[in-house]
Amino acid sequence: MAFNPEDAEFIGISTDNDPPNELLKYLQHQSPEVLTRVAQSVSGEIKQIIAQNVQGLVGVLPSDGFNVQVTTDRENLAGLLASAMMTGYFLRQMEQRMELEHSISGTFLESHSSDLDS
């Protein structure tokens, strides 16, 4: 199943009172190629966390002993998709922050140790 931004309006579950969701609008106007590149750029750890999150929301039985089928409607599926996407964006931001902190602390430690050597 390929993502089609032209058909992505099902994600936009809102009432007339809700403010417009700028992130949702932005995502709906991205090409499938851009979304594919974004999805491929996340680490295995993020993919594992998202999979566990979705499995926790849907409920999963081991496939070797059960024939599991999940039935839902568009609104609930859209909510699940939005939740998984937001979890992914949040986790990617946290991963980038962690990498930045490691980079900065490594740079700080290197410069601090060279100051001590002088």
Phi, psi (rounded to 5 degrees) for 2? -95, 145
| Residue indicated by tokens 């962690």 | 98
Q: What is the DSSP letter of 30?
A: S
Residue stretches of the chain with pLDDT short of 50: 1-13, 15
Q: What is the DSSP letter of 65?
A: T
Give the pLDDT score at 13.
47
pTM equals 0.48
Give the pLDDT score at 6.
47
Q: What is the DSSP letter of 67?
A: -
- Tens-digit pLDDT profile for residues 91-112: 888 888 888 988 888 776 666 6
Residues across the chain: 118
